[in-house]
Amino acid sequence: MRHGKRLLPLGLGLTFALTGRTAADVREIGELVLDGIPEIPQELIDRTNQYQNVRQAQLAGWSPDGGLLIVTRFGETAQLHHVAEPGAARRQITFCEEPVADGSFGTSPDWLLFSRDQGGNEAQQIFRLDLRVGREALLTDGEHQNGAPLWSNRRDRVAYRSTARNGKDHDIWVLDPLRPEERAIVLETDGYWFPVDWSPDDRRLIVANFLSITESYFWALDLESGEKLPIARHEPVDEETIFYSSALFDAGGDGVFFVSDESSEFWTLRWTKLGSDDVELLSADIPWSVTNAVMSPDRSTLAFTVNDNGRDRIYFLDTRSRKRRDAEAPLGMIEKMEFSPDGKTLAFQLESPAWPTDVYTMDVKSRKVTRWTESEVGGLNPDSFVLPEIVMFPTFDEDSRGERRRIPAHVYRPRGEGPFPVVIRIHGGPESQARMWFSYTSQFEVAEQGCAVIYPNVRGSVGYGKTYVKLDNGALREDSVKDIGALLDWIAEQPDLDQNRVAVTGGSYGGYMVLAALTHYPDRIRCGVDAVGISNFVTFLENTSDYRRDLRRVEYGDERDPEMRALLEKISPTNNVDKINAPLLVIQGANDPRVPASEAEQIVKAVRANGKEAWYLLARDEGHGFAKKSNSDWYTWTQQLFWQRYLVGDGETGASEGDAEAASSH
């Protein structure tokens, strides 16, 4: 990992130098550095204990015995487990100090593959685990990023993306897990590429080139000749770029089912023949985006999900007749699906606002849903969890119809009359979306702190069409901050919400939005929590990892251009810190490859130099978010104490409790 100009606070001495603190202000607990953070009351620790022990189970894949592989946490980190049948005990398979990201079997039930990084540095490595002796073998280079492992149909090879060649560009590699020393580059690239699907005969590979959330392209790569054949249209249509997401070969291998937004606001399922620009539309009548698609092993059935205003719906498509059936899935968000080897059952993971992520299956024919895991919720009663209301609040400008633009938001309200303090939680990305997900922090804030929690999907969020996602690009960056101002106006009109006790919190880009909101609305926001957030766009772009820099320039602007650099400097929170009046809590991982720790250090130092309150929590063994339970616990305690002191209480300044998972999960 290149450090460039980053400031990596690996010791207390450097932390003191950067923040101007003394040893009396800072204490160490394990790998955590707590700077300016008071002692955590035991009462708060006891109150949060049940919420912090909420677990989740994520789908990894099918097991040869008909069971499922899942990823869940019983100790400090999430590990790979096996579940033999619905409701069966979870048998742990991996026992690593670092979190395990995935797992899948190859040609034998005696071994499997899994991935993990080191301390949150996102340099994922692929390992083979021999289940007979419990021994793992490193298959990749051990240093660079190695991601998106994809099995061939015969499950004798794995395609994956890797920056091993130059540390910057994601080439496409192929390896045999039993002979990893023979791994080789099959496509040398510039930029960000990854494998998507193998052809039925394993002679071709669909590869994707991701340029931005509004531009990406698919190619069919011949693995013998190295020839690339473009899939569908690659030229802009009416000066509009095209975004492609899922792509899957059909049964014959000469056609491809894919999702794109060509001549459409939404991501639409389509089919085309290789070498042709002619396209068959398959979901144009659905006024929402197709977000995920998987194919049965015999390629006779395609399952896809549609993001319907934050919740996911499942559809099955007969790939021959093109007949489509919808399937009633429980309310929530579906992030991964996989057909069983016989194609009769679809496994998926689902997250509900009232229940953490669990693994389910659906019978393709009958569409009967079976729940395989039931993750613990710390002894809490799930019936007490609050469901969100979706509201649309007006903002400052008009849409293409000349009507007042409206911004969607998910609102969690406590029971009772209010007026309630408000926590505004802003998602990252910015190309992301507040969805029907579960947040134990939000449930704690609602039930225990008496706060309303609002997740706004400000302009730039995905899920509402490509026009909406572009509304904050480049010079329009601060228009999304104005949407927060419009939300403050809406809050002031709600009799059950307290406009005088409003806090903002968010992670990554959401962290920037927190800082920007504090500079734009200093008299309307009581306090803010910035988790792994951007504090200066120029220093961020100069210091983020090489492999991400060009991707981020598309979204934020190119700092090498003098005019754009001047704009980025003008709107950066570090250059407007004199406007921040509210107390600030900053959360950061020292190994963050996306938003380097220097972004946190410089805003903390600037706020304190201006005579304002700033708490700082640093984890030396984390990256872009907190993945280890002990660190996440401290995140929660610190943020909830911050809310109690500055939002929930009646002091001159205020804040609300927090966003423990803004940086750890969402």
Q: Where are the domains of the chain?
A: 12-52+381-648
The sign one gets for the Cα dihedral 499, 500, 501, 507 is positive
* pLDDT tier, 21 (very low <50, low <70, confident <90, very high otherwise): low
The enclosing H or E element of 179 equals strand 179-187
| Amino acid 589: pLDDT | 96
- Kindly report the average pLDDT of the chain as a whole number: 91
Q: How far apart are CA 452 and CA 413, in angstroms?
A: 5
Tell me which of 52-56, 421-425, 481-485, 585-589 is least confident.
Answer: 52-56
pTM above 0.85, yes or no: yes
Query: In this structure, which amino acid lies at residue 305?
Result: T
Is residue 146 predicted with pLDDT exceeding 90? yes
* pLDDT tier, 418 (very low <50, low <70, confident <90, very high otherwise): confident
* pLDDT per residue as tens digits for the range 602-627: 999 999 999 999 999 999 999 999 99
- With 0-12 / 13-18 / 19 or more C-beta atoms within 10 angstroms meaning exposed / middle / buried, residue 91 is exposed
Is residue 236 predicted with pLDDT exceeding 80? no
What is the average per-residue pLDDT within 519-538? 97
CATH number for 12-52+381-648: choose from 3.40.50.2000, 3.30.450.20, 3.40.50.1820, 2.40.50.100.
3.40.50.1820
- State the distance between the two ends of the chain, measured CA to CA, in whole angstroms: 24
Look at the block and give the residue holding tokens 């083979």.
Answer: 128
- With 0-12 / 13-18 / 19 or more C-beta atoms within 10 angstroms meaning exposed / middle / buried, residue 20 is exposed
Contact between residue 7 and residue 598 where contact means Cβ atoms under 8 Å apart: yes
Is residue 5 predicted with pLDDT exceeding 50? no
* pLDDT tier, 121 (very low <50, low <70, confident <90, very high otherwise): confident
**Listed residue (321, 197, 314, 202) closest to 248, CA to CA:** 197
Is residue 556 predicted with pLDDT exceeding 90? no
> 162: which strand partners?
146, 171
> 389: which strand partners?
411
Query: In this structure, which amino acid lies at residue 505?
Result: T
* Residue 421 DSSP class: E
Is residue 271 predicted with pLDDT exceeding 70? yes
* pLDDT per residue as tens digits for the range 328-372: 888 889 989 999 999 999 999 999 988 999 999 999 999 999 999
> 398: which strand partners?
404
What is the average per-residue pLDDT within 388-416? 95
| Amino acid 665: pLDDT | 32
